[in-house]
Amino acid sequence: MAEGEELIELRFRIYDGIDIAHGTYEASMTVSTLKQKIIAEWPQGKTVTPKSIHDLKLIHAGKVLENNKTLADSRITVGDLPLGVITMHVVVQPSKAKQKTGSSSSLS
């Protein structure tokens, strides 16, 4: 870590309300690297599990974060939060190729 690097304390809330990957992250970390960490720490035994970073969407302040941007680029700042911890929501959305299989139904 570079000296003077801004650190941001984050936790990630998944679909069932559990928080994972709580830790301090560098502002220069990319969203895709963050998603890799989330996948690595995904709880075992969940019915919904992401297979790749493309299956995840990170949402902060109502915006979906882009993979190629850093946390600083995404304007993730602590501001005046009382505890200084930012909670992001994690949405698992399987890739479109998987969704198309078996989705043909007839309307009668």
For residue 106, name the pLDDT band (cuts at 50, 70, 90). very low
Paired residues of 90 in beta bridges: 58
Q: What's the CA gap between 47 and 60, in Å, rounded?
A: 24
Q: Give residue 108's pLDDT.
A: 44
Element (H, E) at 19: strand 19-26
Domains and their CATH numbers in the chain: 7-95 (3.10.20.90)
pLDDT in tens, 23-38: 999 999 999 999 999 9
Paired residues of 18 in beta bridges: none
Query: Mean pLDDT in the chain?
Result: 83
DSSP string, 38-97: HHHTPPTT-SS--SSGGGEEEEETTEEPPTTSBTTTTT---TT-SS-EEEEEEEE---HH
Q: Give residue 57's pLDDT.
A: 96
